[in-house]
């Protein structure tokens, strides 16, 4: 009998991970209660079975892949159902939440009898033609990494208990997305101060790899900016009020919030950024 994996969260990442697991031989369920017909259609098109909460609790593995703000709510909602389940599996929280929030999730689920793991997904959603992101896991049973690898995921252990994988996600996203926020800020300032053409020429000569990274990652960010606001706030909370990095990531949240608003308005900031990136 194939391994059954239930995914809570049917977003771009959750659906793509589900497809990858199906390719790896698994049966994949998705908790779709309250989701739109469009989401249901997309999930079914991916070969994933929409499922009710009671069926989710019968899975071998449960992955929580939801927006950061929903992670603790998911744990609270599923705790009684997991406690009631006769067979106990493994629950992995793959959300981009800070280690303290992850420890809250762990506490909420501690009495259910399930093995609870902290997970972090690093990289873009898997596609048929790429190796896919990496799945880091800390806490819980060490055997889980081999089980995930057997299902076709690039799985790695992070030494440490619940919180360690979330911390890795925070620091990696802080570097990766923070760099995009920094570039966004300075390229807009270049455009506003008439120094964009000189900046482009100077970067092309003295930091070509960074210019190429901006050209790739800044336009990629526009449609995701609204989601990154909460991620930056998670990083600020992770760093804590005594770290100057907390104020730094509060500011990053504002940077992405401006881009998110721009996407809902006339896209003026995005086209300014595109112009600077093209050397215009």
Interface with a copy of itself, residue 220, by CB under 8 A: no
Q: Is 254 in the site for a copy of itself (CB under 8 A)?
A: yes
Q: Among residues 22 and 173, whose Cβ is nearest to a copy of itself?
A: 173
Distance in Å, CB of 127 to a copy of itself, minimum: 16
Residues 6+ apart with CB under 8 A from 132: 16, 20, 123, 125, 126, 153, 154
- The only residue of 37, 128, 209, 268 in contact with a copy of itself, by rule CB under 8 A: 209
Residues 248, 232: Cα–Cα separation, whole Å: 9
Q: How would you classify the pairing of strands 154-157 and 90-93?
A: unpaired
- In degrees and rounded to multiples of 5, residue 110 shows phi and psi of -60, -35
Among 24, 67, 68, 123, binds a copy of itself (CB under 8 A): 123
Q: Which of 10, 148 has the CB closer to a copy of itself?
A: 148
Half-sphere exposure of residue 252: CA atoms within 13 angstroms, side-chain side: 29
Residue 86 CB burial class (10 angstroms; 0-12, 13-18, ≥19)? exposed
CB of 178 to a copy of itself, least distance (A): 5
Confirm or reject binding of residue 167 to a copy of itself (CB under 8 A): yes
- List residues bridging with 156 in a β-sheet: 136
How many amino acids of this chain bind a copy of itself (CB under 8 A)?
A: 58
Evaluate whether 83 touches 112 at the Cβ level (below 8 Å). yes
CA end-to-end distance (rounded Å), the chain: 58
Closest alpha carbon to 214 in 234, 184, 194, 246: 184
Within positions 70 to 99, which residues make up the interface with a copy of itself, using CB under 8 A? Answer: 99
From 25-33, 85-93, 188-196, 221-229, give the range in contact with a copy of itself by CB under 8 A. 188-196
**What is the C-alpha separation between 194 and 94, in angstroms, rounded?**
43
Our finding on whether 199 is near a copy of itself (CB under 8 A) is yes
Judged by the rule CB under 8 A, the positions of this chain that interact with a copy of itself are: 99, 122-123, 134, 136, 156, 158-160, 163-164, 167-168, 170-172, 174-176, 178-179, 181-183, 185-190, 193-195, 197-199, 202-203, 206-207, 209-210, 213, 238-239, 243-248, 250-252, 254-255, 257-258
């Amino acid at each position: 009998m194939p391994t059954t994996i239930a995914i809570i969260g049917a977003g771009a990442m959750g659906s793509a991970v589900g497809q990858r697991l199906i390719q790896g031989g698994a049966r994949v369920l998705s908790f779709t209660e309250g989701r739109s017909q469009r989401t249901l259609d997309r999930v079914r098109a991916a070969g994933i079975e929409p499922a009710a909460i009671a069926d989710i609790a019968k899975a071998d593995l449960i992955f929580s892949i939801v927006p950061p703000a929903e992670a603790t709510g998911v744990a609270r909602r599923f705790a009684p159902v997991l406690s009631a389940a006769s067979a106990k599996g493994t629950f992995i929280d793959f959300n981009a939440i800070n280690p303290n929030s992850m420890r809250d999730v762990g506490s909420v689920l501690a009495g259910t009898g399930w093995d609870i793991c902290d997970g972090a997904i690093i990289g873009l959603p898997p596609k048929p033609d790429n190796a896919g992101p990496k799945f880091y896991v800390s806490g819980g049973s060490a055997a889980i990494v081999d089980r995930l690898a057997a299902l076709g995921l690039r799985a790695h252990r992070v030494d440490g208990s619940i919180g360690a994988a979330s911390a890795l996600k925070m620091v990696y996203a802080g570097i990766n997305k923070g760099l995009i926020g920094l570039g966004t800020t300075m390229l807009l300032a270049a455009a506003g101060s008439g120094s964009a053409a000189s900046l482009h020429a100077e970067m092309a000569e003295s930091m070509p790899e960074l210019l190429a990274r901006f050209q790739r990652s800044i336009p990629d960010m526009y449609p995701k900016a609204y989601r990154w606001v909460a991620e930056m706030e998670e990083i600020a909370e992770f760093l804590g009020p005594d770290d100057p990095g907390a104020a730094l990531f509060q500011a990053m949240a504002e940077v992405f919030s401006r881009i998110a608003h721009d996407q809902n308005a006339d896209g003026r900031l995005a086209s300014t950024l595109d112009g600077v990136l093209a050397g215009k």
